[in-house]
Copies of this chain bind each other. A is one copy, B any other.
Amino acid sequence: MIGRLNHVAIAVPDLAAATALYRDTLGATVSAPQAEPDHGVTVVFIELPNTKVELLEPLGADSPIAGFLAKAPAGGIHHICYEVADIRAARDRLLAGGARVLGSGEPKIGAHGKPVLFLHPKDFNGTLVELEEV
């Protein structure tokens, strides 16, 4: 069911500093910062040859990563995103297998403009898993 690893998301308290670290110290190709007010984050994409890492900084008062950074002020890996061909079919298979889908269970349009769902970390070895339909 799951396909490519779409991205690994790292929550960071200071996006400019984290971007400089990846660009200058690790020598990676980095994008310009992109504000995603609907998702409560500003994102920088670290472009790797086979996938990408997304650096996320909170944006606005209700950022979904504010709680994570309150517990881990230095930042940390926030979630991992796998691609699926049919997100509703994936959801139905997951629910049948006893896994919990966060929120209403209806896919939302994610930061890439594609339908996404998040799965409960308690069902996936403490890992927040995003599924994105591509």
A-side residues, CB < 8 A to B, are 1-5, 8, 10-13, 18, 21, 24-28, 48-51, 53, 55, 72, 74-77, 80, 82, 93-94, 97-99, 121-127
* Given A77-B127, A125-B18, A125-B75: A48 touches B12 (CB 8 Å cut-off): no
Interfacial chain B residues near A53, Cβ < 8 Å: 5, 80
How many copies of this chain? Answer: 2
A87 to chain B, nearest CB (A): 13
CA distance A94 to B75 in the complex (A): 20
Instruction: Please judge, given known A-B contacts A2-B27, A3-B48, whether A77 and B77 are in contact too, CB under 8 Å.
Output: yes
Interface of A (DSSP majority class): loop
User: In the complex the two chains form, what is the Cα distance from A99 to B27 in whole Å?
Assistant: 13
Q: Tell me the bound Cα distance from A121 to B75 in angstroms.
A: 10
A127 to B72, CA, bound (A): 11
A1-B28, A76-B127, A77-B127 given; name 17 further pairs at CB < 8 Å: A2-B26, A3-B49, A4-B50, A4-B51, A5-B5, A5-B48, A10-B125, A12-B125, A53-B80, A74-B125, A74-B126, A75-B125, A75-B127, A76-B125, A76-B126, A77-B77, A77-B126
User: Are A49's CB and B126's CB within 8 A?
Assistant: no
* Least distance between A70 CB and chain B CB atoms (Å): 13
